[in-house]
Amino acid sequence: MFRRRYREQIPELNTTSTADISFMLLIFFLVTSSMDTDKGLLRQMPPPQQEDVKPQDINKDHLISVTLDAGDALAMDGTLLTPAQLTDELVNAIAHDPKEHVISIQTDRRTSYEAYYRMQNAIVAAYNRLRSTGREVPMRISEQKPQE
């Protein structure tokens, strides 16, 4: 006659549901959080114009005029071009006049934001290309009020 050994072991904690609990936490975080980091073109705007301060005169020779019309057509000094061409042209123009140049931006109220963004991107690309050669080029941009 064998007596059954009495087992003194403590019963183990049932942990099967831990996986489910952590899955729920995981899904909660997936739903409530977002992964997108904010990227963009950072700009500093000038302070609002005072009534009594006269706008500064700029020598025409230093002026680079960039325009976007209502149909999103991009032009520099009157000639139509693509954003990539604008970058090349700006690199040439700014390289000749790095300290005094002013890029004047004129848009229309009906210009799309996307076209404006492409133009801004092209301008930043031009400055980045110039700066990558080790030169110090200040960003000189003057934005006009959009045309009606």
Contacts of 74 (CB under 8 A, 6+ apart): 66, 67, 68, 80, 81, 82, 83, 86, 115, 118, 119
- If the CB atoms of residues 62 and 106 are measured against other proteins, the closer one turns out to be 106
Packing angle between helix 113-131 and helix 83-96, nearest 10 degrees?
40
Closer residue to other proteins, CB minimum distance, 61 or 114: 114
Question: Which stretches of the chain bind other proteins, using CB under 8 A?
Answer: 15-16, 18-19, 21-23, 25-26, 29-30, 32-35, 37-48, 68, 83-84, 107-114, 116-118, 120-122, 124-125, 128, 145-146
* Identity of the residue, 103 or 111, whose beta carbon is nearer to other proteins in the bound complex: 111
Q: Are 89 and 66 in contact (CB under 8 A)?
A: no
For strands 63-68 and 102-106, give the pairing: parallel
CB of 126 to other proteins, least distance (A): 10
* Nearer to other proteins among residue 6 and residue 113 (C-beta): 113
Residue 59 beta carbon to other proteins: minimum distance, rounded to whole angstroms: 26
Q: Are 30 and 69 in contact (CB under 8 A)?
A: no
